[in-house]
A = this chain, B = another copy of it.
């Protein structure tokens, strides 16, 4: 693969002139420019971005670290990130932490090694604090999304989990449900905690007793064992509705209920956070849910990041809260 010196030699100019042609900077006589371009073409010259980044101290690269690349929420975030980054001439490296602190740490180190210009992170959990602190130590522009990490203050874009959870729970209550269970995610993740809190608060406000045995904790991604479902269904009285904390948890529950021949919503109503896209249309029943605009999480995060990268003076970390849309569909059933 040829380099700038070889091109320069062949075009009978200095490497600097080639560089000017390449970057369209400075003055180059049109005639020279054409000659240089011709030689580049002829030699199949491709500039070396590594060398460029090294001297410019800028890699034009962002990193997006997400906990689960198979979750449509995060792939949609990825698209939003990518689209917005491209508009500013940046590349994005996608990293999948698998909700694993150690993998997240590896990617964190990789970002440092590669001298990425900014990082967007959906933390794997509260343990992520250590990884985020490491990044902060180097003053790398950083935006957290979806999940807030205890004890770390960064630019942040989250969904309004509290409001969404309240609305979904209230919806069930309005339909006449009094025995409402919840399956939330790991409590090391802020969204799990907040959705649980919204559920609790709404029960209380409606004078419904909160029951510990109506609340189960499942994984946000892998298949958790169905044991918790049996426990829930064995409670007295048996819940007439379940609120699930995200799309994958909803899938687990719907599947579990089907295996047990329990009809939704006839026997049991379901409401959930997040959506079933891209298969939303195929899910049966269609789920009543608090829909989050994942794409916006990604594109907004890039915008915040760009301001940091460009050195726009910002007093303190910003916090953007995006409202979910409550979409009523069949799974929550009719008024009892």
A: which residues have CB within 8 A of B? Answer: 1, 44, 46-51, 53-54, 59, 69-72, 75-76, 78-79, 82, 91, 93-94, 96, 109-110, 112-115, 137-138, 247-248, 250-252, 254-255, 258, 276, 278-279, 281-284
Contacts and interface: CB of A to CB of B under 8 A. Distances in A.
Contact of A91 (B1, B71, B110, B281): B110
B276 A279 contact: yes
Contact of A70 (B72, B94, B113): B72
A278 to B, nearest CB: 6
A115 B79 CA distance: 24
Contacts of A44: 137-138
B281 A282 contact: no
A68 to B, nearest CB: 9
Contacts of A72: 70
16 contacts: A46-B112, A47-B113, A48-B113, A49-B114, A50-B53, A50-B59, A50-B114, A54-B54, A70-B75, A70-B76, A93-B93, A252-B281, A254-B281, A255-B282, A258-B281, A283-B283
Contact of A54 (B50, B78, B94, B112): B50
Contacts of A110: 91
Contacts of A254: 281-282
A1 B59 CA distance: 15
Given A82-B96, A138-B1, A115 B279 contact: no
A251 B278 contact: yes
A51 to B, nearest CB: 6
Contact of A284 (B113, B137, B282): B282
Given A113-B49, A279-B251, A282-B251, A69 B59 contact: no
A69 B47 CA distance: 28
B75 A79 contact: no
A72 B137 CA distance: 36
A113 B46 CA distance: 6
Nearest to A222: B278
A138 B45 CA distance: 10
Contact of A279 (B51, B54, B96, B283): B283
Contacts of A281: 251-252, 254-255, 258
A139 to B, nearest CB: 9
A46 B110 CA distance: 10
A50 B56 CA distance: 11
Given A44-B138, A255-B282, 19 more contacts: A46-B112, A46-B113, A47-B113, A48-B54, A49-B113, A50-B114, A50-B115, A51-B54, A69-B75, A70-B79, A91-B110, A93-B93, A94-B94, A247-B279, A251-B281, A251-B282, A276-B279, A282-B283, A283-B283
